[in-house]
Amino acid sequence: MTQGLPLRKDVPKQETWDLKDLFINDEAFYETLNQVLKSSKEFNSKYKNQLTNIENVERALKDYEDILVQLDRLYNYPELRVSVDTSNEEAQKVNAKLNTMSGKIAGLLSFVDSEILALSEETLNELQENTNYPHFIKRLHDRKPYQLSTEVEQVLATLTPTLRSPFELYGTTKSLDIDFESFEHNGVTYPLDYATFENEYEDHPDVEFRRKSFKTFSDAIRKYQNTTAATYNMQVQQEKIEADLRGYDSVIDYLLQEQEVTRDMFDRQIDVIMSDLAPVMQKYAKLIQRVHGLDKMRFEDLKISIDPSYEPDISIETSKEYIYGALNVLGDDYLNMLETAYNNRWIDFAQNKGKETGAYCASPYFTHSYVFISWTGKMAETFVLAHELGHAGHFKLAQDHQNLLESEASMYFVEAPSTMNEMLMANYLFNSSNDPKFKRWVIGSILSRTYYHNMVTHLLEAAYQRKVYQLVDEGESLTAPILNKIMLDVYETFFGNVVEMTDGVELTWMRQPHYYMGLYSYTYSAGLTIGTVVSQKIKNEGQPAVDNWLNTLKAGGSMSPVELAQTAGVDITTEAPLKATIKYISELVDELERLTDEIEAE
């Protein structure tokens, strides 16, 4: 039997992140949590029923911001602890303690929004023009028609930990309860869990191995489909109740409010990709089938590399060369941030048992970003790392130039800086070699890692999610058979008869935590659309485009996503950027086909 992943305590320290900048230990966390509760009570006593004029509001917002900085720090610490080792009991205790107290704190602070929105229109407009928090006030003002009474808002805020329970339950089921069986291949027994499947097996070059691992993985998660469906139904029904309470026409409108995005922008992102990108990705799937000599192109074959034998191995140390080389176009300050991230252990590279899957970047305002990744030594992971460091660079620049209330960009925009970095990585690699095999590998990596992941996987999740919310708005409850059918229909619509949908495809909805984060999935394609256009501007226009982009990142959440994109030179109120991005992807597929013809003719 092959060796399983090591325990967290057995991985090299230099491959783990250092959380001491957040809290030196758990005792310091508990002390700060108690202090924040005390500060929140004092804030409530000092300002409640006093936010009746601009001067008091401005003073209150400054003190409010100070508390939120500490709360942000508190929320990040247990999440970072648990995500690298879901079995860590001390981390679970820290998380449970925060959940217990966070509702009380939220209830004490909830009056701020309510009292500001109780001001007259004239005072609100004057406040927006004479405050250090103009965009925060604008976003608050936009919510005024949907604001409930102060008492109801306080109850909802106090219930925050309960309303987050579906997400917590989903994570527990996924990380701790699912029992994966090992599988045998060529006389060797292979262990299986979420991490090994998604990081190593899902794109394995051996077709029989890949298909066996997919079947074993699907058989395991299928046993939990009813529990997971009930958990997800709990999430969306809660969202439906709040949307109705607030007077929104639909759950989708309610969830888009926070993003400052119109329903047209949301629907266009899904509809145009479903219609225009589908033929391009079907052509890409046929090319993968041809290159690998597959009898049939099946769902579990979609993530394999165009040439697995060519992909170079890469160490963590060697990755610096590519990361620095690709991203130094963004300037010395940005490069210094990258070096600090490596040198000061902002990045958790380790692979260990109990570590969650995927990659993310957490950016507490109090300190700096923390990047979560599981490094397997594949060259394609430099794209993942560049992506997450894109978030880190964005939040550093935003937090350096904006207060906390104006620092976080809309969810619609937040994936633009990360996916833009992937495009800069691609441009850098394109220029590093004229070898057709290398160029084909680069294009294949962009298509399979950057575009397939962000504009197909996440976009199909968005199409699925839209259908789910349409049913919820119609009063339906969700069960596993309903969710399975929606997921399968979405994949069949996109890929037509080019890809055979193996048993297990319908369970793909079980694998994503994004569904517990509002309308997040579609924003990957929205961000990549902006990132693609900006990367081409940087390639063609040079420093002026770089300067515009850095100014966009510095703006953080002080502008709407439409205004942020405009600052970078992109008009997302039309379909033109999306059409241009799909055209670029089509050209990449054509070039991939041309290079394949050239290589096979040798």
Is 43 within a domain?
A: yes
CA dihedral 155, 156, 160, 165 (to 10 degrees): 110
Residue 296: CB atoms within 10 A of its CB come to 9
What's the whole-number mean pLDDT along residues 137-163?
A: 93
Is 45 within a domain?
A: yes
HEC string of 561-596 equals HHHHHHHCCCCCCCCHHHHHHHHHHHHHHHHHHHHH
DSSP code for 430: H
What's the whole-number mean pLDDT along residues 13-31?
A: 96
Is 215 within a domain?
A: no
What is the identity of the amino acid at 240?
A: K
pLDDT band per the 50, 70, 90 thresholds, residue 358 = confident
* pLDDT at residue 520 greater than cutoff 80: yes
Is 549 within a domain?
A: yes
Tens digits of per-residue pLDDT, 244-298?
Answer: 999 999 999 999 999 999 999 999 999 999 999 999 999 999 999 999 999 999 9
What's the whole-number mean pLDDT along residues 324-347?
A: 97
CATH number of the domain to which 538 belongs:
1.10.1370.30
Out of 146, 162, 186, a domain closes at 146
- Across the chain, mean pLDDT equals 94
What's the whole-number mean pLDDT along residues 306-320?
A: 88
pLDDT band per the 50, 70, 90 thresholds, residue 431 = confident
pLDDT band per the 50, 70, 90 thresholds, residue 331 = very high
Tokens of residue 99, six digits: 């959940």
Tens digits of per-residue pLDDT, 3-14?
Answer: 678 999 999 999
CA dihedral 223, 226, 232, 234 (to 10 degrees): -140
CATH number of the domain to which 115 belongs:
1.20.140.70
pLDDT band per the 50, 70, 90 thresholds, residue 35 = very high
Percent of the chain with pLDDT over 90: 85
CA distance 437 to 543: 31
Out of 131, 146, 161, a domain closes at 146
Angle at 436 between CA 435 and CA 437, to 5 degrees: 90
Is 48 within a domain?
A: yes
* pLDDT at residue 311 greater than cutoff 90: no
* pLDDT at residue 514 greater than cutoff 70: yes
Is 308 within a domain?
A: no
Q: State which residues form the domain around 75.
A: 11-146
* pLDDT at residue 401 greater than cutoff 90: yes
Instruction: Find all residues with CB under 8 Å of 310, minimum gap 6, and list them.
Output: 437, 438, 440, 441
As for how many domains the chain has, the answer is 2
Instruction: Look at residues 19, 32, 160 and name the one whose alpha carbon lies nearest to residue 85.
Output: 19
pLDDT computed for residue 3 by the predictor: 63
pLDDT computed for residue 2 by the predictor: 54
Positive or negative, the CA dihedral 313, 314, 316, 317 is positive
Is 84 within a domain?
A: yes
pLDDT computed for residue 199 by the predictor: 81
Instruction: Find all residues with CB under 8 Å of 435, minimum gap 6, and list them.
Output: none
Residue 177: CB atoms within 10 A of its CB come to 11
Is 461 within a domain?
A: no
HEC string of 355-420 equals CCCCCEEECCCCCCCEEECCCCCECCHHHHHHHHHHHHHHHHHHHHHCCHHHCCCCHHHHCHHHHH
Do 281 and 494 touch, CB atoms closer than 8 A? yes
